[in-house]
Structure 1
Amino acid sequence: MQALINIGITIATITIMEGLSWAMHKYLFHGPLWFIHKTHHQERHGWFELNDLFSIGFAALALWLMWIGHTSLNYYFWLGTGISMYGIIYFIFHDWFIHNRFKSFKSSNRYLLGIRRAHKIHHKSMEKNPSEEFGLLVASRKWFRR
């Protein structure tokens, strides 16, 4: 039974992270933290951009939660695991598939192509506003039409 609870906490955390990331992206990254996030909307020079600080912050939070919960594998550990898994999903979808930080993999999957289209629309504007499509895994239906 405890294993199911731990899996539930992890899956719930991944789901909550998508909503939290959407809200942070829209209201903080395109708001008061634009001075950091704008590096992600500009041409990248080199491997890292200032915007990567956000990923480092989430990773630090996840590692801290896992550390404080590791002795008893309590809910802190599983919250950290969920945040870490969302980070892995983010890396694969966002950095690898959408932004080609590595050699991009090809796909004809309707969902993946829709997510890519939505993200490209988000980056169409190089300014703080106007902008749309702030999610990673969820986007408006209009981007999934063939």
Structure 2
Amino acid sequence: MTWWERTALVVFMVLFMECFAWAMHKYVMHGWGWGWHKSHHEPHDNAVEKNDLYAVVFAIVPIALFTVGMWYEPLWWIALGITIYGAIYAFVHDMLVHQRGGFRWVPRHGYFKRLLQAHRLHHAVEGREGTVSHGFLFARSPAVLKEQLRRHAAKRAAGPAVAADRDVMAGTTSRRPVDAEHATS
């Protein structure tokens, strides 16, 4: 492999891992894998949380790829890209955002401040529903994320009766009304 093919593989994998991490965080960790991830959203004084099991599981893939990559070079570079993403993630998420390991820098402006704000807005919601900002290296504007949080909160406050009324008015459902107040004869 040429140096630029190796570099391209590593860079591609770092970018791919951000997409993969976003999907895993949104659909697995805040979905069926909430049992482990919940520990990350609850206050605690422990150095380790159940959520850290995800890092252990995710580390298996690059370890295997490094091993096989000894015989098939592209896999070694793919594993390096995944590992670099893991190191960036550990710095941004664990050290910068959650100040694990005694790291105590709070950015006052720029890219790192935006990442910090986005992840704090992610944690602004109790539970797994209605969260925003599931990525780790690319964050939307805090103003956009706050608006998303407001919309999620409004939907929750409206409840199923208002949603059912909206669907009936729009002609998008044939569901029966939720309660007698919304019933038609």
TM-score by length of 2: 0.73
Gaps of 5+ in 2: 145-185
Cα deviation for residue 117 of structure 1 reads 0.4
**1:85 aligned partner, one-letter code:** I
Q: State the alpha-carbon separation in 2 of the partners of residues 97 and 62 from structure 1.
A: 24
Contact 2:106 2:113 in 1 (8 A): no
Contact 1:96 1:103 in 2 (8 A): yes
1:138 is matched with 138
| CA offsets 1:26-54 (integer angstroms, 9 cap, x no match) | 11110100111111101133111111111
1:83 is matched with 82
2:13 is matched with 13
Contact 2:122 2:133 in 1 (8 A): yes
Contact 1:58 1:83 in 2 (8 A): no
2:103 is matched with 103
Cα deviation for residue 143 of structure 1 reads 5.2
More displaced stretch, 4-13 vs 100-109 = 100-109
**1:81 aligned partner, one-letter code:** L
2:163 is matched with none
**Larger relative contact order (Cα-Cα within 8 Å, sequence gap ≥ 6):** 1
Structure number with larger C-alpha Rg: 2
**1:19 aligned partner, one-letter code:** C
Percent identity for Structure 1 against Structure 2: 30
Distance 1:120 1:106, change over 3 A: closer
Q: State the alpha-carbon separation in 1 of the partners of residues 2 and 108 from structure 2.
A: 39
Cα deviation for residue 58 of structure 1 reads 1.6
Paired residue total: 143
Whether 1:27 and 2:27 are equivalent positions in the alignment is: yes
Higher helix share: 2
Cα deviation for residue 61 of structure 1 reads 1.0
SS in 2 for 1:31: helix
Deviation >6 Å, runs of 4+? none
Q: State the alpha-carbon separation in 2 of the partners of residues 9 and 49 from structure 1.
A: 32
Contact 2:40 2:49 in 1 (8 A): yes
Q: What RMSD, in angstroms, separates the aligned Cα atoms of the two structures?
A: 1.6
SS in 2 for 1:58: helix
1:38 is matched with 38
Q: State the alpha-carbon separation in 2 of the partners of residues 131 and 9 from structure 1.
A: 32
SS in 2 for 1:108: coil
| CA offsets 1:97-144 (integer angstroms, 9 cap, x no match) | 000002222333411111100000000112011111101011112459
